[in-house]
Structure 1
Amino acid sequence: MRKKGLFCFLLMLAMVANGQPRKYLGGDISLLPSYEQAGTVYRDFDGKPIEPLAFFKKMGWNAIRVRLFVNPEYAPQEHKEEGVCQDLKYALNLSKRVKDAGFDLLLDIHYSDYWADPSKQTIPHLWENVKPESLSDSVYAYTSRVLSSFKAKGVVPDMIQVGNEITFGMLWPVGRIHPMKDDNWSVLCKLLSKGCKACREVCPEAKIVIHTERAGEWDMTRSFYMHLQKYCLDYDIIGLSYYPMWHNSVKNLGTTLNNLESTFPGKEVMIVETAAYYSHENDKWATGPDQYAEFYPISLAGQASFVRELMNELSNHKNVTGVFWWFPEENACGNDLLPCWLNRGLFDNHTGKALPALKEFRYHSTKS
């Protein structure tokens, strides 16, 4: 153990000396406290009960992503049933636990009371009557208040997402854009710049992530970040969602990553969300058992195959400095926390046992 620890320490020194940024491996575990409160038991590959954060650490994870909504009590019931509950107190308590366990923290700020994604970027209830020209001030004040609350508790994020999946903008309709058009970018970039300004002021050591969800469409991805460059937005990391069922093949992702490296050579790239199905059981959104099986079978082996191929590809790109599994903590064993299942987590919904894909979710040491 001493030799291994010394080797890791020397490797870290060598990476710093060579100017190589740290690589992150982790997941967004934002619903974990709710599962634990429901009495959910997590198990390792052999069925032995485990403490999730300790187990993730054992599996080589070094970072955790936590989402934050403005006021989730105003979320529609359907979204509350999907796990929307992460208010400031919830996110702060989970983040403190994450940092105390030795993980780096990626704080994902949704500027909404519920999901901010490609289909909706809803202005928070308490901001509905704010004048459009003053909305950026609300973003600044809210971001500053959140980060100051974190710092007051000794919890400083290492990375901060200003917005979630914002290829088409945020705080609709005020900050809505189309990535391939030039309309309304000054408004969106003012909103983003105020959020980034708060991050720089309150947490100057944290890296800022701008997150989009069109990793399979290079033209859109390029146009979005070129517009940010035109408006001189101050951020550090290009964050991407990549799901094979919506964003094309891993090979296609590799092309996007190559293009990002040549087009934006000063930016790190992180896959801040990824996942793949292993089943469609109790899945109200699925149209059949083989939906989304274009690239991988909907099975445990198919999910593991996806992870293996993804991690091999990411290890080939020096600009990629992180990857986060979305909702790895899904575990319906012994609880009815959610009325239906997504079946994209890393634990079996029947037994609570860790799935084979989790063994594949690691960087290949010869390349990273």
Structure 2
Amino acid sequence: MITIKIYTRLLLVLAVLGLGSCKENENIPEVKADDSFAKGADISWITEMEAAGVNFYNNGGVSVDGIKLLHSMGMDAVRLRVWVDPVNGWCNKQDLLVKAYRTHNLGMRILIDFHYSDSWADPGQQNKPRTWEGLSLDALKQAVADHTIEVLSLLKSNGITPEWVQVGNETGNGMLWDEGKASENMANYALLNNAGYDAVKSVFSDAKVIVHVHNGHDNGLFRWLFDGLKSNGGKWDVIGMSLYPDKDNWRERNTQCLANIQDMNTRYGSDVMICEVGMSWDEEDAAEAFLTDLIAKCRTVSNEKVLGVFYWEPLAHAGWNGYTLGAFDDNGRATKALNAFFK
């Protein structure tokens, strides 16, 4: 059985040599020089999927490299999560480097998503890494800084410069619970957040640091969280949002999200990034309409204050790891949802 260590080494060698692991001949579009709006995807599962033998197919039915396929479909950016010490190795710093190297070689822009956990960090769980358990607040701040610097320095030493870096994932109630739980101690959360922010800037001074919150339609949540950060000296450059409507409420959610974006622009002077979107893979007509409308709304915001939109794991075939909100069908082909990124 192939191990992640062997697999990632092999892929990194192939990336350095400029070779692909799949037969493909996609026409890779050039990003317009005057268009800074990012059209991206979180592709963090791709190495794990490839190791499991999952294939992706173009319109001609040819097996192709999944990242190159997304690029050929109009995406110019990727988002990559990183965990501290995951049990199976996927999404650790070495796996991150492989994916970042591949996307960097395609000229794609990169967003790094620090979870500060060994596994998923989201609104329902913000668990500390195993090796950080029992640390004092000061030690946790140092651990956040050390981990952030270590990962980003690895990228930098390989000639990779991320454009954006998330300090935490969906931190609508803080991170590194219980010490950094915002509803219990906003000041602690601000300190941990700032440890990450300052660490990012120490390696990549020009990178834009994102604080990412779920439910982009919920203005009350965003005001509470960012008012709290601001009053405690919290730092950020960009406000990140997730938006996961369904086929029946996407119009309402898009309207609410746009209003929230405009409020974040006005209230804090912040740029906004839609860091995650998705809809059930078998609702492709609704998903295409939702994304087309959302991207159009984002582009109407004055002074280009919305930086882009990222689809969360579109390459996930229906049911991969139990996830059903990707944009590829059971046969490994893209659904109509991704047409929105052509427009």
One fold, TM greater than 0.5?
yes
**Root-mean-square deviation (CA), in Å?**
2.2
Distance 1:207 1:132 in 2: 25
Could you tell me which amino acid in structure 2 is paired with residue 134 of structure 1?
A
For 2:314, the equivalent position in structure 1 comes to: 328
- How far apart, in 2, do the equivalents of 1:261 and 1:205 lie? 20
Work out whether 1:98 is the aligned partner of 2:112: no
Asked if the contact 1:46/1:353 (under 8 Å) is kept, the reply is no
Name the CA shift for 1:344/1:214 in 2 (closer, same or farther; >3 Å). closer
Check conservation: 1:25, 1:324, Cα contact below 8 A: yes
Q: 2 CA distance for matches of 1:132 and 1:8?
A: 45
1:78-89 aligned at under 5 Å gives the runs: 85-89=90-94
- TM-score, normalisation: structure 2: 0.84
Indicate the residue corresponding to 1:220 in structure 2. Answer: 221
Give the aligned partner of residue 300 of structure 2.
316
Residue 119 of structure 1 deviates from its aligned partner by: 0.4
Aligned-partner Cα distance in 2 for 1:47–1:68: 32
- Cα deviation, 1:158-177, whole Å, max 9, x if unaligned, reads 21110000010100000002
Q: Is the 8 A contact 2:83 2:118 kept in 1?
A: yes
Write out the 4+ residue segments of structure 1 that deviate beyond 3 Å after TM superposition. 245-248
Map residues 120-159 of structure 1 onto 2, 5 A cutoff. 120-159=125-164
The one-letter amino acid paired with 1:52 is G
C-alpha separation in 2, matches of 1:278 and 1:158: 29
Structure 1 length normalisation: TM-score? Answer: 0.79
Whether 1:55 and 2:73 are equivalent positions in the alignment is no
SS at match of 2:153: helix
State how 1:150-299 maps to structure 2 within 5 Å: 150-178=155-183, 183-245=184-246, 249-265=253-269, 267-279=270-282, 299=283
AA in 2 matched with 1:27: A
State the number of aligned residues.
310
User: Identity across aligned pairs (percent)?
Assistant: 28
Paired residue for 2:340, among 360, 363, 367? 360
Which of these residues, 339, 345, 350, is aligned with residue 326 of structure 2? Answer: 345
Aligned-pair CA distance for 1:55: 2.1
**Preserved CA contact (<8 Å) 1:62 1:103:** yes
Aligned AA (1:315):
R
- After TM superposition, give the deviation of residue 337 of structure 1 in Å: 6.2
Structure possessing the higher relative contact order (Cα contacts under 8 Å, 6 or more residues apart):
1
Change in CA separation of 1:128 and 1:8 when aligned onto 2, cut-off 3 Å:
closer
Measured after TM superposition, the shift of residue 107 of structure 1 is 0.5
1:117 to 93, 115, 122: 122
Q: Cα deviations across residues 118-166 of structure 1 (Å, max 9, x unaligned)?
A: 0000011001121234211111111111111221222222211100000
Structure 2 stretches of 5 or more lacking a match? Answer: 1-28
Distance 1:95 1:264, change over 3 A: same
User: 8 Å contact 2:187–2:229 — kept in the other structure?
Assistant: no
Alignment of structure 1 residues 58-69 onto 2, 5 Å: 58-69=72-83
* Partner secondary structure for residue 25 of structure 1: strand
Separation in 1 of the partners of 2:324 and 2:207? 33
